[in-house]
A and B are shown apart, each in its own frame.
Chain A
Amino acid sequence: MNRNLFFKEMRRNALSLILWMIVVSLLISGTMSIYGTFLENQSKVIGMMSLIPKGALQFKGISNLNNLVSVLGFYAVNNVIYMMVLGSIFAIVLSSNILLKEEYNKTAEYLLTRPLTRSEIYFSKLAVLFLHIFLLNLVAALAGFISVEIVKTGPFSIKAFFTLCTYTLLLNILFGTIGLFLSILVKRAKPITTFCIGIVLVFYFIYTLSKITDSVSAIGYVSPFKYVNVEAFRPGYALDLWHLAYFIGISMVLTGLSYRLYQRKDIYT
């Protein structure tokens, strides 16, 4: 890893990261602020929501209306979606650009002619990517934790809360490695941001479709969202080893493949 490149990349992406942090924190705390009102009117709200077709509720991630009553259930349903979808979009947009941007912005000729190996470039950028994803998740987790602490009406499992955050982090990292991998496959320098955002949304759509339609529930397994257990309100909620292996395994394979491909990639500007 090269420190000069690492710090320059950190500075280059800092503004975007800060903006994302602010938006996500506001969305999370804003949503959690209505929890109190929700509890006060829970019978009315649940009664009203029970009129909504089951499929539509499933689409929103609500499998059981009573889950909303627990603060973690409310947080999971309303807020994880922000970090699951928005966080993954952040990760894939950043990762698909972090190396490719040098090519389509024609700055690669400056970067690649410095006394750096391809490995140093790759790992410096990878470190920036992972650190950005981690920092966004950290801020989102803190915003969520503080919000939950403020609005809670009884004790909740801190372990379950942070397990949920870990799942989200792993999901975001996975999408980060998907974006990185795809960007390295691009032969002629052009942005693939829209395509990558589309990938996140398509996977999310597949996941929700598999939840609302029993006949196609199996297709949910192709979506990384399927492997995030959001039922944090259930007793004994913890990280599932297989799901953990899935996230870490695929992320490592994609990171390794990206590394190998980048070592031999022809860089055009």
Chain B
Amino acid sequence: MSEPIIDIRDLSKFYGKARGIEHVNLEIGVGEIFGFIGPNGAGKSTTIRILMNMIFPTSGSAKIMGMDVIKETKKIKSQVGYIPSDANAYSSMVVQEFLRYCARFYEIQDGEQRITELSELFELDLKRKIDDLSMGNRKKVSIVQSLLHNPKLLILDEPTTGLDPLMQSKFFELLRSENRKGMTIFYSSHILSEVQMLCKRVAIIKDGKIIQMEDIETLRKKQLKKVHAEFRDQVREETFSITGITSVITGPGNILSFMYSGDINELVRLLSANKMINLMIEEPSLDEIFMHYYK
């Protein structure tokens, strides 16, 4: 991989004694669409806020495009777009006035054209006061402002909150199109289906620590299988207490469902020791993979 566009090394943040993130390491390559998933409070926003120099790390370092996020924040931000999870634009401003205000911070040649183009795409009424907008429309304003200056890197923190499915679809299409033009996307979310649809690689954060970093496909396929086995006779859960079997659920009609990570031959040997009526081994959804890692 060439020089990573985001390079986080041993990054920790504590709020007094409370943990924000601990020893986070991340490398994101130029042109990637990278997913950053974890539940609320896992440390996603803390990581992003350090990258955007809103908060300062307790230890460790972070670089964007080879520049230190603290020392060279101005240069970095001129090339980064950011969609916050829960931010209010200046409520007394009209949408157009706010977007023009945002655009003036950058050296944009075709600012007005870009505002019109993006607003039309998201069906955003430029003449309305921000205070009068619904949550979804405010999110559209947030999306538009982040893309005005054609950033090289786009950082998104739970970007689809409030967007209807049609707009989400348009938004994802726009992200894919911008990515094809070379934009790197760092997509933080707790909605796994979104990450699955969009991202090529993903990091899972839990309790402030990165617990897994994989290609989406690898993560999906990596040994973890979802198994449903139906037996002729009743079987005891304890029979299946081998390494790799987790989340065992006993269903009606002697059905046993569980997640399995390990040698599939060993599993089949174990299962076939009992008379089976049916066996189904399938790819787990990302949600299920996610839950597996969160146990």
Contact = CB atoms under 8 A, between A and B. Distances in A.
Interface in B83-134: 84, 86-92, 101-102, 104-106
B73 interface: yes
A117 interface: yes
A109 B73 contact: no
Main secondary structure on A side of the interface with B: loop
Contacts of B105: 2, 4, 114-116
Contacts of A12: 90, 92
Contacts of B80: 113
B232 interface: no
A264 to B, nearest CB: 6
A249 to B, nearest CB: 30
A109 B82 contact: yes
B172 interface: no
Interface residues of A, number: 22
Contact of B86 (A105, A106, A114, A264): A106
For this complex, into which size category does the number of interface residues on chain B fall?
A: 20 to 34
Contacts of A242: none
B53 interface: yes
B145 interface: yes
A108 interface: yes
B115 to A, nearest CB: 15
Nearest to A113: B82
Nearest to B91: A105
A4 B105 CA distance: 7
B75 interface: yes
Contacts of B82: 109, 113
Interface in B22-55: 52-55
B274 interface: no
B73 A110 contact: no
Contacts of A106: 86-88
Nearest to A3: B104
A267 B101 contact: no
B33 to A, nearest CB: 20
Interface string A107-133: 111101111110010000000000000
B54 A109 contact: yes
A65 to B, nearest CB: 49
B12 to A, nearest CB: 14
Given A110-B145, A115-B74, A269 B86 contact: yes
A107 B89 contact: yes
A108 B90 contact: no
Given A110-B145, A266-B54, A267-B54, A115 B88 contact: no
A113 B92 contact: no
Contacts of A112: 52-54
Contacts of A117: 73-74
A4 B92 contact: no
Interface string B51-82: 01111100000000000000001110110101
Given A106-B88, A110-B145, A269-B84, 5 more contacts: A4-B104, A105-B88, A106-B87, A108-B54, A108-B87
Interface of B: 52-56, 73-75, 77-78, 80, 82, 84, 86-92, 101-102, 104-106, 145
5 interchain residue pairs of minimum CB distance: A115-B78, A109-B84, A109-B87, A266-B55, A113-B82
26 contacts: A4-B101, A4-B105, A12-B90, A105-B90, A105-B91, A107-B89, A108-B54, A108-B87, A109-B52, A109-B84, A109-B87, A110-B89, A110-B145, A112-B53, A113-B77, A113-B80, A115-B105, A116-B105, A117-B73, A120-B74, A264-B56, A266-B55, A268-B54, A268-B55, A269-B84, A269-B86
